[in-house]
Structure 1
């Protein structure tokens, strides 16, 4: 794994150093689910003539929805025998809907997948082998390997990504507060939170309550040199002292008013113009993926700043693919679906439409093509990836069989946030839940 990380970091750093500035598209959001069909007419590039309807499903912002629909229209114009039935929505509820369809052997042909789900989906044999039929020559091999299972490619990466920090730079400037410096520590971060809190108006908060944010906690434990809370081979690895330190710190921050009350926090929805607390000016910092940065810049133009996650003895963030396209093992149109994915990642025309709506494109040639059109949001995306790459951790895509643990983990941590249990009781509950899933 260390070898993979070094190779990925070198390649991404090389690509990012080549990037420069200019304009692209502004990004928005819509979180509700939608269904539509894409069709068109023009000269076909496919050799087939039999009418085929491919079902495709993805999540994302409104900008991603709009761009994808235009790409599908273009593909149909070039391949009049191929039309699309689409399902798209925000992230919330996406996996539940997809899992229900797959259980009924009715999953879409082409599925946008997250790295965290691949272990379980591959373990159940639900994803088709994509080792042939798709040109992946322009994808860094170390990133491509994250989509492999037992040597077979079952998920094609769509973009480069990183886990880092976003903040409201305009609000910090107004408060006279300097943003985090490169290489800042968790102690620096918490001191900054405590410095800002007294300066805020009622209903404004510096950060969210990290008690319930398992990704943020993973960054904290990793930075302490304690490894992932759940290891890649499926072992429960919450470090008790580190967990108690984290939970008690946020209990203190809640009392000081630095973090929102539980009911306010649970109403926060990333990239929802009416419910995102950072977009609405009620929150200053959020941990998130680089692929989301452009959408935030679209909603708050010129106000956004980015940073790596805080560090301690090690870095707290990681590099990864944004997400993937997979093909359902139950699809009747595997070969036609492969043709579409090949076109999606390699076509210059597709790239012009898609831009960076799925992060920095995965193809090196496409990155070079789009470089002159990168806008402020795109540059911020690159900046977060670059900052994270300096002290990046080895990405953990998740272990098979642990998806249900995530639900139990969420419930336990919400009980803690509502003060129904203590940090010690929460830890004991996590240990008990984890034992059910260890191999």
Structure 2
């Protein structure tokens, strides 16, 4: 279901269904003990919940007049719940969000504009990479504070490649060089060389930027049908050259579940992911993995906010909520507690301190990639517009038509372009 349809349906549901998070909005009746209670909603696992609670407990120990009512859940269903809460004007004071939905909520005036707080230094982002905090701007308003930095990463099976005495992929190789590398590495390791990323929007996005285009320009597409055709043809050539797995395996790898990634299942030597997924991917295979930037000029990549914290525009406790955001991003003790759970810390000074304590090899590799690329990142694009989730779905649908041969690259490109255009401009 697309985000707009989902939101319309849930707005009606919010009027008749009891809310699991009743009282999330900024009700000034607050607490009977005279303390200000802030509601805080995020997605994640138990480890994130434990770390977040520890950081909030630290805040309360320094600000005894503030306490928190926290709610968290798995990613699945999170945005359904958030849509229900906002439709019922009962949103949490502080909530977690990502770039797939930030523009949707900002344009519906759900999120508080953080710009005045940034300008007055109540929200200090002077230690953030500029491209990182700007990736939270929607229509000139800062809709969310980046809680961590991330970027695209090509994860590869280092163990299998070294055993077969094959060259490892490296940052800066061209797309054609990557495909040629995969053609050679595949037969040597008896594993297809690279996952086909033609259904992956972030791979196509980087490729577009390297070719002087972009994914979006406001609520319009910033590429042509011919651009998409070239992208699909590039990967048809790779499939024909047997540099990739077969279409049925590619279909499996198109799933976003970590356990379905081809570098985990052993059905290809690479997977195209976000760099901060490296540790979780590594946990699912006994082979040692490595990670480099996507092919081509790395300046096409950018400091992507792994996720944001936003403040509900209807909150009655905005100043307190702003102080909490500032604390979580800039207090050395809080940042140390949170570590890299939500991505590399946005504050570069504190990031260096956290990175120095990391012992997990996979996380160290992810940090090393970010450190390498931070000097090469280009300007961040605008946050994806409303309809972006539909665009991602339609890209996969069209790319798989080309992968299975039920459509030519030209036909698949036309199918995707028309559907994507309708999704963002409708």
Q: Same fold (TM over 0.5)?
A: yes
Match of 2:87 in 1: 103
Match of 1:420 in 2: 406
Cα displacement string for residues 211-240 of structure 1 (whole angstroms, at most 9, x for unaligned residues)? 3112111222222x2311x33333323344
Q: Would the aligned equivalents of 1:57 and 1:108 in 2 still touch at CA under 8 Å?
A: no
Instruction: Give the deviation of 1:345 after TM superposition.
Output: 1.2
Q: Would the aligned equivalents of 1:56 and 1:108 in 2 still touch at CA under 8 Å?
A: yes
- Between the aligned partners of 1:318 and 1:254, the Cα distance in structure 2 is 28
Cα displacement string for residues 335-375 of structure 1 (whole angstroms, at most 9, x for unaligned residues)? 33323222211222222221122222112342243243133
Cα displacement string for residues 121-179 of structure 1 (whole angstroms, at most 9, x for unaligned residues)? 22111101333243334334553333234554331112232223221212211222111
- 2:370 counterpart of 1:385: yes
- 2:167 counterpart of 1:183: no
What are the ranges of 5 or more consecutive residues in structure 1 without an aligned counterpart?
1-34, 37-47
- 1:260–1:333 distance in 2 versus 1, CA, 3 Å: farther
Match of 2:245 in 1: 259
Aligned length: 386
- 1:279–1:185 distance in 2 versus 1, CA, 3 Å: same
- Between the aligned partners of 1:165 and 1:409, the Cα distance in structure 2 is 20
- 2:233 counterpart of 1:248: yes
- Between the aligned partners of 1:169 and 1:69, the Cα distance in structure 2 is 37
Q: Out of 291, 295, 301, which is 1:317 matched to?
A: 301
Q: Would the aligned equivalents of 1:54 and 1:337 in 2 still touch at CA under 8 Å?
A: no
Q: Would the aligned equivalents of 1:166 and 1:305 in 2 still touch at CA under 8 Å?
A: yes
Match of 2:213 in 1: 227
- Between the aligned partners of 1:268 and 1:211, the Cα distance in structure 2 is 9
Q: Would the aligned equivalents of 1:309 and 1:388 in 2 still touch at CA under 8 Å?
A: no
Match of 2:17 in 1: none
- Report the TM-score when normalising by structure 2: 0.77
Match of 1:329 in 2: 313
Q: How does 1:25-174 map to 2 (within 5 A)?
A: 49-50=34-35, 52=37, 54-59=39-44, 63-75=47-59, 79=64, 82-90=67-75, 94-130=78-114, 131-132=116-117, 133-149=122-138, 151-174=140-163
- Between the aligned partners of 2:196 and 2:255, the Cα distance in structure 1 is 14
- 2:361 counterpart of 1:372: no
- Between the aligned partners of 1:413 and 1:102, the Cα distance in structure 2 is 34
SS of 1:366's equivalent in the other structure is helix
- Between the aligned partners of 1:315 and 1:395, the Cα distance in structure 2 is 10
Match of 2:290 in 1: 305
Q: Would the aligned equivalents of 2:232 and 2:399 in 1 still touch at CA under 8 Å?
A: no
Q: Would the aligned equivalents of 2:136 and 2:383 in 1 still touch at CA under 8 Å?
A: no
- Between the aligned partners of 2:91 and 2:246, the Cα distance in structure 1 is 38
Q: How does 1:283-298 map to 2 (within 5 A)?
A: 283-298=268-283
- 2:202 counterpart of 1:215: yes
CA RMSD of aligned residues (A): 3.3
Instruction: Give the deviation of 1:391 after TM superposition.
Output: 4.6
- Between the aligned partners of 1:89 and 1:177, the Cα distance in structure 2 is 39
- Between the aligned partners of 2:161 and 2:381, the Cα distance in structure 1 is 33
Match of 1:353 in 2: 337
Instruction: Give the deviation of 1:114 after TM superposition.
Output: 2.0
Instruction: Give the deviation of 1:310 after TM superposition.
Output: 0.9
- 1:162–1:335 distance in 2 versus 1, CA, 3 Å: same
